[in-house]
Structure 1
Amino acid sequence: MVKPKSIKNHPRFVLLFTPKTPQKSPFTPSTYILLSITLILASILCFTTINPFVIKIHTSTHSPLLLASISSVYQDPNADDNNSPVTLSVPSIVPLPPRSVAGTEFWDQPDGEGYRPCLGFSLKYRRRSVKIVNEKKRFLVVVVSGGLLQIRNQIVDAVIIARILEASLVLPVLKGDESEFSEIFDVEHFRKTLKADIRVASSLPSTRLVSWQSLENQIPHNVPPFWIQARFFKKLNEDGSLVLTGLDSKLSKNLSPDLQKLKCKVAFHALKFAKPVRDLGNRIARRMWIEGPYVAVHLSLEKELWVRTGCPTGLGPEYDVIISEERESSPEFRATNSNTNCPLNALEAARLLKESGAPANARVYIAGSEPFGGDRAILPLKTEFENVVTKDMLARDGELGPYRNRTTILTAIDYVVSLSSDVFLPSYNGHMARALQGHRAYVGHRKYVTMSMDLKGQPQPRGKRRDRDVIVYPVPECMCKH
Structure 2
Amino acid sequence: MGKAKKKVSYISVPSQIISSLSSSSLHSLLVSPKKSASSPSSKTLPFFSCRTLASFFLLFILLGLLTISSHLDRLSPHPCNSVPPDRLEPPVMDGDRGSWAGEFWEQPDGMGYRPCLEFSDEYHDASAALVSDRRKYLLVVVSGGMNQQRNQIVDAVVIARILGASLVVPILQVNVIWDDESEFSDIFDLDHFKKVLAEEVHIVSSLPSTHIMTRPAVERRTPLHVSAEWIRSRYLKRINREGVLLLRGLDSRLSKDLPSDLQKLRCKVAFHALKFAPALAELGTKIANRMHSKGPYLALHLRMEKDVWVRTGCLPGLSYEFDKMVSDERKRRPELLTARSNMSYHERKLSGLCPLNAQEVTRLLKALGATKSTRIYWAGGEPLGGKQALQPLMDEFPHFYNKEDLALPGELESYAGRASFMAAVDHIVSERSDVFMASHGGNMGRAIQGQRAYAGHKKFITPNKRQMLPYFVNSSNIPASEFNRVMKELHRDSLGQPELRTSKAGRDVTKYPVPECMCR
> What TM-score, normalized to structure 1?
0.79
Aligned residue runs from structure 1 range 50-449, under 5 A:
52-53=81-82, 55-58=84-87, 104-177=102-175, 178-209=181-212, 214-333=217-336, 336=341, 337-339=343-345, 340=348, 341-449=353-461
Counterpart contact for 2:142–2:170, Cα < 8 Å: yes
Q: 2: CA distance between counterparts of 1:117 and 1:268? A: 10
How far apart are 1:451 and its partner, in Å? 1.4
User: How well do the aligned residues superpose, as a CA RMSD in angstroms?
Assistant: 2.1
Q: 1: CA distance between counterparts of 2:266 and 2:123? A: 14
1:124/1:51 CA distance change after superposition, 3 Å = farther
1:212/1:346 CA distance change after superposition, 3 Å = farther
1:445/1:283 CA distance change after superposition, 3 Å = same
2:497 aligns with 458
Letter in 1 for 2:313: G
Letter in 1 for 2:281: R
Counterpart contact for 2:330–2:336, Cα < 8 Å: yes
Secondary structure of the 2:126 match is: helix
Counterpart contact for 1:210–1:241, Cα < 8 Å: no
Q: 2: CA distance between counterparts of 1:308 and 1:128? A: 44
1:375/1:273 CA distance change after superposition, 3 Å = same
Counterpart contact for 2:403–2:426, Cα < 8 Å: yes
Counterpart contact for 2:139–2:247, Cα < 8 Å: yes
| Structure (1 or 2) with the larger CA radius of gyration | 2
Percent of pairs identical after alignment? 51
How far apart are 1:420 and its partner, in Å? 1.1
Secondary structure of the 2:298 match is: strand
1:199/1:235 CA distance change after superposition, 3 Å = same
Q: 1: CA distance between counterparts of 2:81 and 2:198? A: 40
How far apart are 1:55 and its partner, in Å? 2.9
For residues 201-237 of structure 1, give each alpha carbon's deviation from its aligned partner in whole angstroms, at most 9, with x where no partner exists.
1101233236888531231111110100000001111
For residues 90-146 of structure 1, give each alpha carbon's deviation from its aligned partner in whole angstroms, at most 9, with x where no partner exists.
xxxxxxxxx996751111001111111011111110110011111211100000000
How far apart are 1:58 and its partner, in Å? 2.7
Letter in 1 for 2:234: R
Letter in 2 for 1:319: F
**After alignment, is 371-380 or 331-340 more displaced?**
331-340
How far apart are 1:314 and its partner, in Å? 2.3
Letter in 2 for 1:166: G
Q: 2: CA distance between counterparts of 1:400 and 1:320? A: 32
1:448/1:233 CA distance change after superposition, 3 Å = same
Q: 1: CA distance between counterparts of 2:213 and 2:329? A: 40
How far apart are 1:308 and its partner, in Å? 1.2
Secondary structure of the 2:223 match is: coil
1:103/1:366 CA distance change after superposition, 3 Å = closer
Counterpart contact for 2:107–2:458, Cα < 8 Å: yes
Q: 2: CA distance between counterparts of 1:338 and 1:370? A: 26
1:242/1:317 CA distance change after superposition, 3 Å = same
Number of residue-to-residue matches in the alignment? 395
- In structure 1, runs of 5+ residues without a counterpart are 1-48, 61-98
Counterpart contact for 2:457–2:496, Cα < 8 Å: yes
Secondary structure of the 2:427 match is: helix
How far apart are 1:318 and its partner, in Å? 0.7
Secondary structure of the 1:424 match is: strand
How far apart are 1:432 and its partner, in Å? 1.2
Q: 1: CA distance between counterparts of 2:328 and 2:99? A: 48
How far apart are 1:450 and its partner, in Å? 1.7
1:246/1:104 CA distance change after superposition, 3 Å = same
> What TM-score, normalized to structure 2?
0.73
Counterpart contact for 1:299–1:426, Cα < 8 Å: yes
For residues 46-67 of structure 1, give each alpha carbon's deviation from its aligned partner in whole angstroms, at most 9, with x where no partner exists.
xxx999457333389xxxxxxx
For residues 271-317 of structure 1, give each alpha carbon's deviation from its aligned partner in whole angstroms, at most 9, with x where no partner exists.
01001100000000000011101111100111111111221202111
Q: 1: CA distance between counterparts of 2:88 and 2:116? A: 22
Secondary structure of the 2:86 match is: coil
1:463/1:50 CA distance change after superposition, 3 Å = farther
